[in-house]
Structure 1
Amino acid sequence: MSTAFRIPMSGRSTDERHRVSSPLELLFDLTFVVAIAQVAAQLAHAAEQGHALDKLGPYLMVFFAIWWAWMNFTWFASAYDTDDVPYRLMTLLQMGGVLVLAAGVPAAFESSDFTAIIVGYLIMRLALVGQWVRAAVEHPDGRATAVRYACGIAAVQVLWVAWGFLPVGVRPWLFLLGVVLELAVPLWAERPGTTSWHPHHIAERYGLFTIIVLGESVSASAIGVQKALAAHGVSAALVAIAVAGLVLLFALWWLYFLEPAAEGLAENREKSFFWGYGHYFVFAALAALGAGLEVAVQAGAEHAEVSDAAVEYAVAIPVAAFLLLLYVLHAPLVPEVVIRPLKTAAAIVLVLALPLASPVIGLVGVTIGIAVVAAALVAATLLDRSIAARRAQPGATA
């Protein structure tokens, strides 16, 4: 594969055929595998000690930095990926920033030291500013938007650097201000004109990131199994929870890809911010689920410091959040969602109610029950689609 040294950066076509993720984008995603693994491991460790709620704030803060960096790269690449040498080198710089950020995750959780995370984030953001400056120079039609992006990102980055020097007690409130400003930059920057992002490419990129987060959940479950086996050997409870966790993750993967987004994004480009921003909670929920499953498999094999109820809700709440958001994010894009809302609502109620039955069915029963609910929702949706397809056939009777 040959690469041109330099290709003028102009907006790519929004209806380019067969637009898929590039090998560079896939390599870029691998650095986020490392970062997500670190943040999920820290949340799992906190949950094992019964301090999950105490560490929920740092988890959401660090995960926002990870997700926002990935999202900004993804949408920029969808509009301006030239895949030439300068573009690749700037992407390499962003990848280095992700790894620096990942290295700082343990310190952020253990001692509220966000220095490495801020440095890593700064590296990524400066590289992205450089990309937007290049777009402004080489793409006159999109210059106003590109300049706004470059200025907005740089200005908010100054706030984040200053945030690192503030007392720990005031950081959470100013962090929320920083988040609002970060989210406002694209809204403000695209007022003169929208970037030429590709709807099918964006939908694929988000699907790939969903797979990454689910993969980290599988990895977290495997780590939990390893620890339990090393401490207590094989047990029926361990096997049951491990199998249920795998079935649950597979069902959630299936559900996500039952709801197509590409055509909806193409027809409703003005709703892309809602869909794109809302995925923060989808990704955060799936990563948190991985931490919950890691603790669940260990708690099923031994008497853990944390209560069964806490472990059960560490699994149930992320699953319920995922199911709710899957409907909320896709409903505005399509005339009719694939997964019927009443079935989604019933599944959410059952998932959240199952921990209440823990005194009777135990942690193993609750975990299996949640997996069964998710699998049943997949089966019910497939049945609905099959019935609808039969009715749509010529000559079919109602």
Structure 2
Amino acid sequence: MKPLKYHEKNRHATWLELFFDLIFVVAIGKVTHTLGHVQQGHFEQEQLWTFFLLFVPLWWVWSSHTIYSNRFDTDSNPHRLATLFIMLLLIVLSARIGEGLEENYPLVMTCYFGIRAIISLMYISPISRLDSRNEFSSRLGVALLISAVVSLSSIFYDPPLRYFVAYIGIFLDILFPVFSWGKIKPLPTHTEHLIERLGLLTLILLGESVISLSGGLSSIQWDHYNVMAAITGFIMICSIWWIYFDSFYLLSKNDSNMSGHALIYSHLFLFMGLALLANLIRHAILNDIAILDFQIMSFIGMTLFFLGKQYGYFIAVPKIRKYIVQNTLIVLALAGLVILLPRVDYILCGLTATMICYVFLNFRYR
């Protein structure tokens, strides 16, 4: 049996993990695409509910597999095969989600259950007990399997009750890993590996944002407004990259107080914010969205992104907490002002300017 990669020196993400990230982004792209169209300039409630209802379980699929791999990956044949089968189920799931969610709900939940069952069996397998401190893993695997069964049982109910039942299972699923049963503590998170995985996924999602931007330009007649929106959108994406990665090294410092689960959970908000902002850039280019919808979704996207990004640094680096709070409040206050501008492309320019402002404010960390 291969040893845990956890104990390797200079550990990095495996080629399989990178492949897994690409498949996951395909699924997230399908979910994000639910907000890619508007009806007479407005998002419909069904679109918004579909986006949020699907985003959370998909994020948790990636997060839970990453948490397991972070501690127990051996890059063995069984681990590879299990991961590849999860990827197959993700492809099937992503093919059936979107506007036809209700009619495809049983298949979608069956695929989700299959993914959760595989991860549960990975915890129960002997590989996850190679380290003597991780006897809790078999109990965790059983608990995760029970929560997956709860979610699967939602197919027997009609909406909206089925979504309530499904999310009971999902929330149990999300909460179980933060508990340990008995006196034995779990293997600590491999911080450097986890931070690398999160950074790589964020980079891929930013690449998807550029693809969305390019797609918006490819199907319209260019004028100075949509060209300005496209250039501004690209500058915003570059600013997001700078904001996210400029202080990234602080999270992996030896004196960091960051919990692996806290970092994973905070990235739910960050990823949702990225998805919303990427969609809004595209709508600004197409100029097909009502300004009120753009204003609301812009502020929600900015707030989610900064809350998700800042939480990790707030916990990990106590000495800069004052700057983090100040900078975040300044940026969100500026965002609240610029969304009052009279055109969506002007608002996009204003939001980009606030992000550039944050870049300069962030220089104080150094």
TM-score (structure 2 length as normaliser): 0.91
User: Counterpart of 2:135 in 1: which secondary structure?
Assistant: helix
Aligned CA RMSD, in angstroms, stands at 2.4
Aligned to 1:278: 266
* Displacement of 1:43: 1.6
Aligned to 2:138: 147
What letter is aligned with 1:293?
Answer: I
What letter is aligned with 2:306?
Answer: L
Pick from 61, 73, 86 the counterpart of residue 78 of structure 2. Answer: 86
What letter is aligned with 1:377?
Answer: Y
What letter is aligned with 1:313?
Answer: I
Aligned to 1:115: 106
What pairs up with 1:1-398 in 2 under 5 angstroms? 7-8=1-2, 10=4, 12-13=6-7, 16-46=8-38, 50-109=42-101, 111=102, 113-135=104-126, 139=130, 141-189=132-180, 192-227=184-219, 229=220, 233-260=221-248, 262-263=251-252, 267-268=256-257, 271-299=259-287, 304=288, 306-337=289-320, 340-358=324-342, 362-382=343-363, 384-385=364-365, 388=366
Q: For residues 95 and 47 of structure 1, do their structure 2 counterparts lie closer, same or farther at Cα, with a shift above 3 Å needed?
A: farther
* Displacement of 1:317: 2.3
C-alpha separation between the residues in 2 aligned to 1:153 and 1:291? 33
Matched-pair contact (CA < 8 Å) for 2:251–2:316: no
User: Counterpart of 1:321 in 2: which secondary structure?
Assistant: helix
Q: For residues 119 and 47 of structure 1, do their structure 2 counterparts lie closer, same or farther at Cα, with a shift above 3 Å needed?
A: farther
Matched-pair contact (CA < 8 Å) for 1:317–1:352: no
* Displacement of 1:17: 2.9
C-alpha separation between the residues in 1 aligned to 2:176 and 2:305? 27
* Displacement of 1:367: 0.9
Matched-pair contact (CA < 8 Å) for 2:134–2:187: no
C-alpha separation between the residues in 1 aligned to 2:24 and 2:176? 23
C-alpha separation between the residues in 1 aligned to 2:99 and 2:53? 13
Q: For residues 258 and 336 of structure 1, do their structure 2 counterparts lie closer, same or farther at Cα, with a shift above 3 Å needed?
A: farther
What letter is aligned with 2:252?
Answer: E
Aligned to 1:391: none
Matched-pair contact (CA < 8 Å) for 1:214–1:287: no
C-alpha separation between the residues in 2 aligned to 1:59 and 1:190? 34
Matched-pair contact (CA < 8 Å) for 1:216–1:287: no
* Displacement of 1:342: 1.6
Aligned to 1:394: none
* Displacement of 1:274: 2.3
Using the TM superposition, name which of 90-99 and 51-60 deviates more: 51-60
C-alpha separation between the residues in 1 aligned to 2:128 and 2:159? 40
Q: Structure 2: where are the runs of 5+ without partners?
A: none
What letter is aligned with 1:144?
Answer: E
Using the TM superposition, name which of 306-315 and 260-269 deviates more: 260-269
Q: For residues 259 and 47 of structure 1, do their structure 2 counterparts lie closer, same or farther at Cα, with a shift above 3 Å needed?
A: farther
Q: Give aligned pairs, total.
A: 363
Deviations 1:118-152 (A, max 9, x none): 12212222221221122467526145321122101
Aligned to 1:393: none
Larger Rg: 1
Using the TM superposition, name which of 315-324 and 78-87 deviates more: 315-324
C-alpha separation between the residues in 2 aligned to 1:54 and 1:265? 45
C-alpha separation between the residues in 2 aligned to 1:189 and 1:99? 32
* Displacement of 1:341: 2.6
TM-score (structure 1 length as normaliser): 0.84
Identity of aligned residues (%): 23
* Displacement of 1:173: 2.9
Q: For residues 64 and 168 of structure 1, do their structure 2 counterparts lie closer, same or farther at Cα, with a shift above 3 Å needed?
A: same
Matched-pair contact (CA < 8 Å) for 2:295–2:340: no
C-alpha separation between the residues in 2 aligned to 1:135 and 1:250? 44
Q: Structure 1: where are the runs of 5+ without partners?
A: 1-6, 389-398
C-alpha separation between the residues in 2 aligned to 1:165 and 1:315? 37
* Displacement of 1:108: 4.7
C-alpha separation between the residues in 2 aligned to 1:265 and 1:274? 17
